[in-house]
Structure 1
């Protein structure tokens, strides 16, 4: 089930729409509007002011699976120790 995402102009660092726009801003023009790939491979070395943070090469499904597994582990650890990302902000 999908939940509609709404913009949070009060807190752009937590706003999924602003974060997605920023992600697209740091992707090469050639990948914008593609429907066959969502997560692009990060460039190996970038500075905060670099124009591109991602390559035009999509992440493999195995890489996405590993990334999601790490996110789940971090969340489980946060729940065990009694912290959550919301309580840290």
Structure 2
């Protein structure tokens, strides 16, 4: 069985907004976004830069992380991107 990793990632768009997503190939996905072939949201906001990612063993875990991130307000998202994560204690609460 193939041991493929799954990623939750956060991009910063050219307009300063964040885009969160899921992929199983992070390098290819960022390239796709920057080619204008990715999500509709990022097409008009190129170029995008990877600001944060987390690696998971299952697609479900990665997509749950994406969902949790999208539920946060902008200041909380900025904090996660700046410090590089939720922190051990906080991740249990989210």
> After TM superposition, is the score higher than 0.5?
no
TM-score by length of 1: 0.26
TM-score by length of 2: 0.25
User: Of Structure 1 and Structure 2, which has the larger fraction of its residues in strand?
Assistant: 2
- Higher relative contact order structure (alpha carbons within 8 Å, sequence separation ≥ 6): 2
